[in-house]
């Protein structure tokens, strides 16, 4: 960026407001040009290149939304960030402006601290250095139309401060997308904080999110001030917390009782769900007023089956990453293996592709991964070694701690229960762990003998021990 003084276009027909904003900008070494109508603002935009624009919503000859739309339609080399001034409490107007492309808003009466923050963000957006220098993460690379559309949309919304809601299947890359929006925007050098809504007990949610004044414990929102907060699976937010989050969004400060509740809060909110948030609103599980504040911009993160053309590129990247701590060259996937991957539906998306390639990389016997190494017929648990005959009906006849009894009276370790396992993957991992530990116990931790007992190779056993965190036991 050059050393010239930045210039802002301020559009408002109230002289007092114009004077207040001009003086604030002057103290920040920003020059202000004043326009008192939409027509005058358009003329000035045609005559001069500005670093950003701040416009009132109600003007004598039109509406601030018209000016926001005009600025969004400027040629790329003349584009500039625009923010709006709204009447106090008029969130509907602010949301409409954000949807049109405004990056933020400030309410009347204008809070000077809030105005200064907005100006600093506008200047950083105007520099555009983030979009020029920052690359997308490798898993969002590719030439498929689905991923190109996503990247183009990320670049657009990154410039804004508007809330973004991501919709996508498990493992499709929603958190990667949220991080890209953060890293390509003006908050890139601030914190990115993820709130895993499905993993926080309801009774602890308030303290985790807002902190506790009595304990002087800082919550995630205060810790993320000036940065970005990503609410993963936000539909799992308890109803009481939903109401408090609305208050935080509207008042831009933490609720009473929170640690640092008097501190102004400036965070960008990105949220995600696997299904459209409107579905949760219709079912009554999610507040509609919070929905409208979070769903200002909705982005659909495509599943991997819509990115078939990207699989060769993604596979090469993942194999290199998975092999980076190993000696020797990285095995490559054969053309037949790539075709097999492209024919697979990937219900687990990018996460499943990585798991498949990690398993294939470990188990393949040559430098080339073949279709049979991929095991795309399904993920099978390791066979449980048979128990000694004398055990049946004796010490194994009653369920031990952590076991379940079937309706027929038989028992086995880790029988699937929703209370104990969040997913089928968790259940299968428990079965695998139990089988390996039993085989190792029966062979006195002779890994070669345990591998033979399990019917797998020694190399495969080493891989599974590492995956399950058992290798050092």
Distance between CA 359 and CA 460 in Å, rounded?
A: 9
Higher pLDDT, 248 or 199: 248
Give residue 135's pLDDT band: very low, low, confident or very high (50, 70, 90): low
Radius of gyration of the chain (CA): 28
- Map residue 242 onto helix, strand or coil: helix
Average pLDDT, integer, range 133-150: 82
CA distances from 175 to 110, 185, 199, 208, 335 (A): 34, 15, 15, 20, 30
Tokens of 28: 């920040």
pLDDT at 292: 92
Does 152 score more than 80 pLDDT?
Answer: yes
CATH code of domain 305-374: 1.10.8.60
**Above pLDDT 70, what percent of the chain?**
84
Q: Averaged over 76-86, what is the pLDDT?
A: 84
**Least trusted range by pLDDT, from 21-30, 61-70, 365-374, 402-411:** 402-411
Q: What's the average model confidence in pLDDT over 250-260?
A: 81
Rounded distance, CA 45 to CA 9, Å?
A: 8
Q: Is the pLDDT assigned to residue 309 strictly greater than 50?
A: yes
What architecture (CATH level 2) is domain 138-302? 3-Layer(aba) Sandwich (3.40)
Pick the CATH number of 389-468 from 3.40.50, 1.10.10, 1.10.1760, 1.10.3470: 1.10.10
Q: Identify the burial level of 284 via C-beta atoms within 10 angstroms of its C-beta, where 0-12 means exposed, 13-18 middle and 19 or more buried.
A: exposed
Here the tokens at position 41 are 């603002």
pLDDT score for 321: 84
Cα 175 to Cα 59: distance, rounded to the nearest angstrom: 40
**What pLDDT is recorded for position 465?**
84
* 107 prior amide bond cis, ω within 30: no
Distances (CA, A) of 434 to 363, 384, 427, 442, 465: 21, 8, 11, 12, 12
* pLDDT value of residue 385: 41
Neighbours of 471 (CB within 10 A): 13
Closest CA to 54 of 72, 35, 70, 73: 35
pLDDT, tens digit, for every residue of 405-423? 333 333 333 444 444 445 6
The pLDDT score that the predictor gives to residue 473 is 54
pLDDT confidence tier of residue 394, bands split at 50, 70 and 90: very low
pLDDT of residue 11: 96
Q: How confident is the model at residue 7 (pLDDT cuts 50, 70, 90)?
A: very high
Question: Does the pLDDT value for residue 132 go beyond 50?
Answer: no
Mean pLDDT value of segment 267-276: 94
Triad 94, 95, 100: Cα angle to 5°: 100
Q: What is the number of H-type helices and E-type strands within the chain?
A: 20, 18
The pLDDT tens digits of the residues spanning 153-194 come to 999 899 888 999 999 999 999 999 999 999 888 898 888 998
Among 60-69, 73-82, 138-147, which stretch is predicted with the lowest mean pLDDT? Answer: 73-82
| 231: nearest Cα among 144, 184, 279, 291 | 291
Q: Which is more confidently placed, 443 or 40?
A: 40
Higher pLDDT, 197 or 79: 197
The per-residue pLDDT for 16 is 92
- Residue ranges matching CATH 1.10.10 in the chain: 389-468
Q: What is the mean pLDDT of residues 66-78?
A: 83
**Rounded CA gap, 346 and 68, in Å?**
41
pLDDT tens per residue across span 312-355: 999 998 998 888 767 667 888 999 999 999 999 999 999 999 99
Portions of the chain given CATH number 3.40.50.2300: 7-127
Residue 399 has pLDDT above 90, yes or no: no
Q: Are 337 and 356 in contact (CB under 8 A)?
A: no
**CATH 3.10.28.10 assigned to 7-127:** no
Query: Rounded to whole angstroms, what are the CA distances from 171 to 59, 222, 305?
Result: 47, 28, 12
Q: What is the DSSP letter of 416?
A: -
Nearest Cα residue to 194 out of 242, 145, 227, 239:
227
**Mean pLDDT, the chain, integer:** 81
CB 291 within 8 A of CB 298: no
What pLDDT was estimated at residue 377?
65
User: What SS3 string covers 83-121?
Assistant: EEEECCCCHHHHHHHHHHCCCEEEECCCCHHHHHHHHHH
Q: Contact 173/181 with Cβ under 8 angstroms?
A: no
CATH 1.10.8.60 domain locations along the chain: 305-374
Residues carrying CATH 3.40.50.300, the chain: 138-302
């Amino acid at each position: 960026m050059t050393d010239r003084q930045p210039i802002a276009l301020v559009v408002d027909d109230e002289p007092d407001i114009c004077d207040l904003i001009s003086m604030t900008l002057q103290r920040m070494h920003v020059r202000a040009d004043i326009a008192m109508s939409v027509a005058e603002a358009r003329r000035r935009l045609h005559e001069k290149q500005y670093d950003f624009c701040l416009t009132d919503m109600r003007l004598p000859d039109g509406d601030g939304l018209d000016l926001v739309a005009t600025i969004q339609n400027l040629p790329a080399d003349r584009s500039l960030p625009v923010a709006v001034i709204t009447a106090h409490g008029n969130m509907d107007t602010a949301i409409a402006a954000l949807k049109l492309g405004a990056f933020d808003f400030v309410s009347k009466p204008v809070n000077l601290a809030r105005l200064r923050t907005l100006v600093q963000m506008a200047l950083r957006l105007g520099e555009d250095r983030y979009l020029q220098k920052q690359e997308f993460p490798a898993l969002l690379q590719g030439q498929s139309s689905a991923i190109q559309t996503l990247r183009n949309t990320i670049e657009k919304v990154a410039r804004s401060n508007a809330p973004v809601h991501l919709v996508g299947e498990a493992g499709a890359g929603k958190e990667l997308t949220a991080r890209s929006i953060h890293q390509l925007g003006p908050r890139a050098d601030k914190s990115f904080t993820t709130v895993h809504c499905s993993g926080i007990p309801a009774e602890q949610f308030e303290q985790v999110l807002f902190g506790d004044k009595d304990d002087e414990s800082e919550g995630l929102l205060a810790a993320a001030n000036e940065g970005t907060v990503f609410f993963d699976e936000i539909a799992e937010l308890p109803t009481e917390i939903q109401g408090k989050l609305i208050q935080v969004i509207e008042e831009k400060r933490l609720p009473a009782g929170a640690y640092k509740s008097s501190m102004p809060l400036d965070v960008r909110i990105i949220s995600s769900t696997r299904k459209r948030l409107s579905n949760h609103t219709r079912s009554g599980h999610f507040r509609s007023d919070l929905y409208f504040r979070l769903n200002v911009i909705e982005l659909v993160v495509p599943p991997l089956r819509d990115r078939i053309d990207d699989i060769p590129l993604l596979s090469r990247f993942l194999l290199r990453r998975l092999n980076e701590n190993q000696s020797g060259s990285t095995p490559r996937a054969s053309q037949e293996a790539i075709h097999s991957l492209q024919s697979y539906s990937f219900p687990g998306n990018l996460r499943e592709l990585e798991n498949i390639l990690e398993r294939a990389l470990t188990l393949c016997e040559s430098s080339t991964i073949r279709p049979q190494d991929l095991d795309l017929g399904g993920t099978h648990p390791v066979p449980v070694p048979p128990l000694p005959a004398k055990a049946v009906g004796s010490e194994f006849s009653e369920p031990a701690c952590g076991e379940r009894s079937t309706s027929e009276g038989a028992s086995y370790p880790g029988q699937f229960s929703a209370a104990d396992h969040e997913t089928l993957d968790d259940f299968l991992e428990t079965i695998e762990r139990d089988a390996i530990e039993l085989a190792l116990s029966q062979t006195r931790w002779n890994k070669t003998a345990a591998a033979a007992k399990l019917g797998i190779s020694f190399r495969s056993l080493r891989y599974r021990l590492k995956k399950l965190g058992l290798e050092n036991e």
